[in-house]
Amino acid sequence: MQHIRQPAVAGTFYPGVSSTLTHDVEAFLAAARLEHGSPTHDKLPKAIIVPHAGYVYSGEIAAAAYASLAAGRDQITRVVLLGPVHRVPVRGLALPDVDLFATPLGNIPIDKDAVALLNMLPQIVTSAAAHAWEHSLEVQLPFLQSVLGHFKLIPLAVGDATDVEVADVLEALWGGPETLIVISSDLSHFLPYATAQAVDRQTAQHILALQGPLTHEQACGGTPINGMLLAAKRHHLHPLLLDLRNSGDTAGDKDRVVGYASFALMEEIDYAN
């Protein structure tokens, strides 16, 4: 009998009805393609950094990154998904003890081979509790299901870990063009609009320079981002800022806002071929 991690925030962070969810995600992606256009080359991102608030707040910003994956629908067959824990403290990076992750759009299989590999690393733990109510990973799944074909998932809820520990996990799973890395993080929290804009612009510049570490005040997913920045340096990735806004721009007031950004991290383009 297969164990399934059921959706925890369907109907709150995003629509719980599959037809409505499909419509909304496709609308976000269509708007992103219209606004940002097509890439000037056919290279796919190796990694993306995307926000994880309710879709009404950050769906537009996340869609800018997911729209860039369109050409990889049949190429990307494995997704390494890292997001910060919000409810249950964890030492290290936590895997779930399930076979499938469910959303209103269907079930996603867990990559069991990758799980077996990761379980040999000391910073990896298994925690059903860390995943049960964690939204930072779940909200990314309907976007992935919409832009990709069949893929397996390696979901990691990141707690207290060093950038080296996170980067070493990414290194173990790096793979080739079949593997996409997704880092889930919002930026600043509950600052006045103008202050948040200034803080988030500075944070974006640090990411574009692959310059860490970020604090959790700069990005709630600072821990997985810091590991990604270290791995990006090792692999000579080039980050691109795709969108940078906050909840005051999308669906909230401007007194206390949350910052959102999406980035694509690209491998070097071989112009000789």
User: At 121, is the pLDDT very low, low, confident or very high (cuts 50, 70, 90)?
Assistant: very high
Angle at 90 between CA 163 and CA 111, to 5 degrees: 80
Of residues 234, 231, 221, the one with CA closest to residue 167: 231
Which pLDDT belongs to residue 36?
77
101-118 per-position pLDDT tens digit? 999 999 999 999 999 999
pTM: 0.96
Mean pLDDT of the chain: 96
Which pLDDT belongs to residue 268?
81
123-182 per-position pLDDT tens digit? 999 999 999 999 999 999 999 999 999 999 999 999 999 999 999 999 999 999 999 999
How far apart, in whole angstroms, are the C-alpha atoms of residue 241 and residue 263? 5
Q: Indicate the pairing of strand 238-246 with strand 106-109.
A: unpaired
Does residue 197 have a pLDDT over 70?
Answer: yes
Does residue 272 have a pLDDT over 50?
Answer: no
Please, which residues have CB within 8 angstroms of residue 137's CB and are 6 or more apart in sequence? 52, 81, 83, 131, 155, 157, 184
202-241 per-position pLDDT tens digit? 999 999 999 999 999 999 999 999 999 999 999 999 999 9
Which pLDDT belongs to residue 273?
42
Domains and CATH numbers, the chain: 71-266 (3.40.830.10)
Q: What are phi and psi of 256, to 5 degrees?
A: -140, 105
What's the 3-state SS for 185-240? CCCCEEECHHHHHHHHHHHHHHHHCCCCCCCCCCCCCHHHHHHHHHHHHHCCCEEE
